[in-house]
Structure 1
Amino acid sequence: MKLTLKKESRRARVRTGHPWVFINELENIPDPKFDGQALPLEDARGRHLGMGIVNTQSQIAWRRYSTGHDAWNREFFEKAIMAAEQNRDEEPFRRLIWSEADDLPGLVVDQFDEVLVVQALTKAIDEALPVIIELLQERLSPREVLLRNDAPARKKEGLEIYARTLSGEPLKPFWAEIYNVQYYLDLEGAQKTGFYLDQRQEHFKVATLAPDWRVLDAFCNQGAFALNCAIAGAREVVAIDSSQEALEQGRRNAEKNEVEIQFLKENVFDYFSNNREERFDMIILDPPSFAPNRRSLQGAAKGYKELHVRAFNCLNPGGILATYCCSHHVTRSLFREIIEEAASDTRRKIQIMYETGQPLDHPVIMNFPESEYLKGFVLRVLR
């Protein structure tokens, strides 16, 4: 069987390189028996547009993995895994496979030294997991594989939610050194795949600006920014999060690294409102996504602006704001516009020191804006 785009789908993004086709863009809806399998896609004129995995239970009915005619099998998986590994630096902590960016739609693999954390977010990947895990074991010889198949996105594919190790034994938390900082990693109990590897380089880079400064790490989670700043010689570091569990882990990390950090259980917006006289030399804003879907974009924009207004009001002249957004619905241009409006409202003169985004092991694919979610600006408040 092959799938065909509707004649009126002349502007379908798949024509210009986007890897997704929504179910309402198809002329012929496949039989559900093909869910989890691979089928070719053609346009109305019969031109081949690639091979993709199918799931009629999802709004994204077809996801391209090849522009050719490659079969969805062990040989293809091995080739894709090898290519992904070759495109990464040989770090012990890295994202090894990043879904469509590595031609394996729905597969995420994070490597934490001898432990692999695997997420299967599509039906086809879920069904191929035994073969994929076998290939990963052959290439990397991990001591354990943790299946973090508890992401809400699995529900859209009609998949069950669970988290377990391949061995069936609990994965005990362990200490690991990432960019010269010791972290207590609870990969089975923490958010997503256990640690935000996409920010590991930025944790270190921002901290080089922090010596002798008073620093606020807002939405600190495990305290990665705070820890790096404290180790780099910050005069004082305050770290805020609303999760008691995250704060306890942050305190454990601080004790292990022999640094002083004040961890506070607070809503960040409330903290700024209740501490209007507080002043910092550096503020780091790295919140969770305010826009999980397009419908929430307007409210998210208001939230991001208010957050930046409050942060600018608490920065000393000459201070630095390092701010990040992890929602792909908020584009880089929109995020910059929000920051500019906040700067205008607070009458602060702002200089862009540098822009940042995803590290090389989280590659962004041209013509696939959904692959770009992380963007950031490091700004100096001149006055």
Structure 2
Amino acid sequence: MSMALVTLKKGEGRSLKAGGAWIFDNEIGTTVGSFEDGDIVMVHDFDGYPMGKGYINSHSKIRVRMLTRDKDQDINEEFFRKRLADAWDYRKKTVDTSSCRVVFGEADFLPGLVVDKFSDVLVFQALSLGMDRRKERVMGLLKEVLEEDGICIRGIYERSDAKEREKEGLKKTKGFFGPEFDTFVPIVENGVKYIVDVKDGQKTGFFLDQKYNRLAIQKLCRGAKVLDCFTHTGSFALNAGAAGARSVLGVDASELAVRQAEENAKLNHLEEKVKFIAEDVFELLPKLVEQKEEYDLVILDPPAFTKSRNSIKNAVKGYREINIRGMKLVKDGGYLATCSCSHFMDFELFTKTIRQAAAGAHVRLRQVEFRTQAADHPILWAADESYYLKFYIFQVCRE
């Protein structure tokens, strides 16, 4: 059966031509030939110039997700094996692979697939229809690629329960992908031990993207009094404790996350100096300011306050408010680590918001460093959605 042909309108496909992977429905002029959603299609520019191949989904605004720029490339088992082997080879060169993100969707030229490795367990999300149709074979190939490299994988768990699937006309789904196993998985990162709940934890169970940012705050923690806001399962708080902090308070609105954080503290024998409470950070910070509490280091690691362009205004207000409160709680000469994990809150807007917060808190900021996500979450230029984590460390001065 011949492949359907998608032709772009004149002047469209700018993101694709710059190196991105998405073609939106309103960029397409014609689609010729029959196809089923999830099939591979050929893409041409308006003048017939071949742009490559990708999978199509008529139910999604992202109509085609590109897999290759090569018009002659066969999208077969060997193609996926090579993509997966390349992704693994890249991780081995750039990060500690004991636990890491093995595949980061479009940034690894595998649109709609996210795979995290927690020790000897893989957790994956299939976020596009094209990938969902191929997930069984692709995950089988990934397991083979890792095992050929001497990495024994004892289990795979699917966490395709993200909202994005609904935009693809797919139902949310989660569960064992093959034999069942204990879904509380022990890992070690930066010398700190955690139990990762791959079944019910947020996203795939643990946020690997902050691995080296957690390491970066350690040098500021010796003898320090630390406040870790939006602690989730305690990762920044435990890095602070392990690095020799005097006392650490971790705060999260989720009772489940706090219970897991407490278990993680016990695992590391840090329960005496690293404490956790389940409270709304927005309600707690003003109380701490009122009580004239002061910290040597305040960490702000909030969830994405915006997942669309429409809610950016409210998100800016949220980021500004917690940063003003956070800055007020840092003692003169102390430090603030603050971040945003929403790609809609871009570098310029986040930086501007922090500047406004400093003015609102009447402090001066000295930048220690600016960081992004760990290298196992590579930023593909022209694929804006792949650059999402912005992380600043500042010294806070009151003079």
Q: TM-score range by the shorter chain?
A: over 0.9
> Could you tell me how far apart the structure 1 residues matched to 2:142 and 2:22 are?
26
Query: Would you say 1:40 and 2:42 are equivalent positions?
Result: yes
Aligned to 2:197: 186
CA distance, structure 2, for counterparts of residue 190 and residue 157 of structure 1: 23
TM-score in terms of structure 1 length? 0.96
Q: Is the CA contact 1:32–1:56 (under 8 Å) kept in the aligned structure 2?
A: no
Higher RCO, 1 or 2 (CA under 8 Å, sep at least 6)? 2
Q: Relative to 1, partners in 2 of residues 1:30 and 1:273: Cα closer, same or farther, differing over 3 Å? A: farther
2:317 matched residue in structure 1: 302
Report matched runs for 1:254-333 at 5 Å: 254-259=265-270, 260-276=273-289, 277-333=292-348
**Is 1:172–2:174 an aligned residue pair?**
no
| 1:64 paired residue among 55, 63, 66 | 66
What's the CA shift string for 1:338-373, capped at 9, x where partnerless?
000111122211111000001111000111111101
* Aligned pairs for 1:229-240 within 5 A: 229-240=240-251
Indicate yes or no: 2:170 matched with 1:159: yes
CA shift, 1:317, in A, is: 0.5
Offset of residue 71 of structure 1: 2.4
Q: 2:201, 2:28 → 1: CA distance?
A: 39
Match of 2:52 in 1: 50
CA distance in 2, matches of 1:228, 1:202: 10
Matches of 1:54 and 1:37, distance apart in 2: 6
Counterpart among 112, 134, 141 of residue 128 in structure 1: 134
Per-residue deviation, residues 108-133 of structure 1 (Å, max 9, x unmatched): 11111210111111111111112112
TM-superposed CA distance for 1:32, in Å, is 8.0
Correspondences of 1:214-253 after superposition (within 5 Å): 214-253=225-264
Q: Which runs of 5+ in 1 are unaligned?
A: none
| Alpha-carbon distance, 1:29 to partner | 4.6
1:83 has 2:86 as partner: yes
Match of 1:352 in 2: 367
CA distance in 1, matches of 2:57, 2:395: 47
> Is contact 1:218–1:240 with CA below 8 Å preserved after alignment?
yes
- The residue type paired with residue 376 of structure 2 is D
Aligned to 2:150: none
Matched, 1:341 2:356: yes
Q: Are 1:212 and 1:234, in contact at CA under 8 Å, matched by a contact in 2?
A: yes
Cα offset, 1:175, TM superposition: 2.3
Looking at structure 2, the residues matched to 169 and 115 of structure 1 have their Cα atoms a distance apart, in angstroms, of: 11
Would the alpha carbon gap of residues 266 and 30 (structure 1) be closer, same or farther in structure 2, given more than 3 Å must change? Answer: farther
* Structure 2 gap segments, 5+ residues each: 148-152
**Aligned-pair distance for 1:10?**
4.2
Alignment-derived partner of residue 106 in structure 1: 112
RMSD, aligned CA: 1.5
Match of 2:21 in 1: 19
Question: How far apart, CA to CA, are the structure 2 residues paired with 1:316 and 1:56?
Answer: 55
**Closer, same or farther: CA 108–11 of 1 in aligned 2, 3 Å:** closer
> In structure 1, what is the Cα distance between the partners aligned to 2:353 and 2:120?
41
Structure 2: which amino acid aligns with 1:87? Y
Which has the higher mean CA deviation after the structures are superposed, 171-180 or 28-37? 28-37
CA distance in 2, matches of 1:175, 1:115: 10
Identity %: 36
Q: Is the 8 A contact 1:164 1:170 kept in 2?
A: no
Whole-angstrom CA distance in 2 between matches of 1:348 and 1:29: 57
Inter-partner Cα distance in structure 2 for 1:31 and 1:169? 42
Amino acid at match of 1:238: L
Structure 1 residues 123 and 31: CA distance shift in structure 2, 3 A:
farther
- Contact 1:240/1:264 (<8 A) preserved: yes
- Rounded to whole Å, the distance in 1 between the matches of 2:249 and 2:224 is 11
Distance (Å, rounded) in 2 between the aligned partners of 1:55 and 1:265 = 42
Distance 1:376 1:202 in 2: 8
> Per-residue deviation at 1:172?
3.2
One-letter amino acid of the counterpart of residue 222, structure 2: P
Say whether 1:74 aligns with 2:77.
Answer: yes
Alignment of 1:204-223 (within 5 A): 204-223=215-234
Superposed displacement of residue 85, structure 1: 0.8
